[in-house]
Amino acid sequence: MQVSRHYAHTPITEAIVDLKVTLPEGFSADDIENIHAHISEDFPIKEQIYAGLLQFESGPSIKIDASRKHHGLLFRSRDGLRIFQATLSGFTFNRLAPYNTWEEFSGDARRLWEVYKDVCRPSSVIRTAIRFINRLDLPGPILDFKEYLRTVPEVSPDLSQVLSGFFTQLQIPQEDLNCMLIINEAFTPPTSPEVVSVILDFDLFREHIWQSDDEDIWRFLEKLRHRKNLAFEASITDKTRRLIE
């Protein structure tokens, strides 16, 4: 398998770290407001996050109560490229393109995690995940996907081979890491008439109760990142590598 490498024209459009947590009893979404004082210089834009509630009440006549509940806050950097979500269910950090390095991305995520942890005091982390969404602009408008991708939709030879859209999802257990790798592959609107644009999306997660120190969690996220790199290299051909070198 091709070893992971750095590409000058990285196709990453979004990178995400997500940690689901258990918070202390009685902690409310209003308490999350205290985070902003610590990050307002870098993340001045603040938005409310609401979770939908749907309740059914049986009886002579069925009653449905649909409502929203304050669930946390979303913070944006001035340039809109970094997004930090602090909610009652966990911590999420998004980095939009341009993506530079894992060290920069994970460093930003960890600094924000420290703020979230200090304010929200989670008793445990119950799910760890990373997700990397790539956009590949391949020479078009007509091409043989197998020249660029190693996992492609197979169409019966008795059908037209022209595709106007597709979506493929693979769920591949990673037994050595006790985690799941989900690969999504789909058409996306092209950037120009001369290309065919494809989303190649890697989502790795593990559901596990972490009550140890942060070092264990971030070391594991590093392992997920390495596995993502291997999965990316296994999914593309040398023709694609030449496009993004």
Q: Tens digit of pLDDT for each residue in 143-182?
A: 888 999 999 888 898 988 777 788 999 999 999 999 999 9
Beta bridge partners of 235: none
CA angle 135, 140, 146 (to 5 degrees): 75
Four-residue CA torsion sign, 121, 21, 100, 188? negative
Q: What is the mean pLDDT of residues 179-208?
A: 95
**pLDDT tops 90 at residue 66:** no
Q: How many residues does the chain have?
A: 245
Could you tell me which residue, 132 or 1, shows the higher pLDDT?
132
pLDDT at 105: 98
- Give the pLDDT band of residue 187 (cuts 50, 70, 90): very high
pLDDT tens digits along 101-142? 999 999 999 999 999 999 999 999 999 999 999 999 999 887
pLDDT at 144: 86
pLDDT at 30: 95
Nearest to 122 by CA among 32, 30, 223: 32
Whether the model clears a pTM of 0.95, i.e. scores above it, the answer is: no
Beta bridge partners of 184: 169, 201
pLDDT tens digits along 21-62? 999 999 999 999 999 999 999 999 999 999 875 555 555 556
3-state secondary structure of 59: coil
Look at 72-81, 88-97, 111-120, 205-214 and tell me which has the smallest mean pLDDT: 205-214
pLDDT tens digits along 216-244? 999 999 999 999 999 999 999 999 999 99
CA distance 223 to 12: 18
Q: What is the mean pLDDT of residues 195-215?
A: 92
CA distance 245 to 241: 6
- What amino acid occupies position 237? T
pLDDT at 54: 54
**pLDDT tops 80 at residue 71:** yes
**pLDDT tops 90 at residue 64:** no
**Exposure on the CB side of residue 194, measured as CA atoms within 13 A:** 0
- Give the pLDDT band of residue 191 (cuts 50, 70, 90): confident
Q: What is the mean pLDDT of residues 179-190?
A: 96
CA distance 125 to 105: 20
Here the tokens at position 109 are 């995520």
Check if the beta carbon of residue 160 is closer than 8 Å to that of residue 142: no
3-state secondary structure of 111: helix
Across the beta sheet with 167-174, the strand order is 45-57, 63-76, 82-87, 90-96, 12-22, 124-139, 195-210, 179-188, 167-174
pLDDT at 162: 79
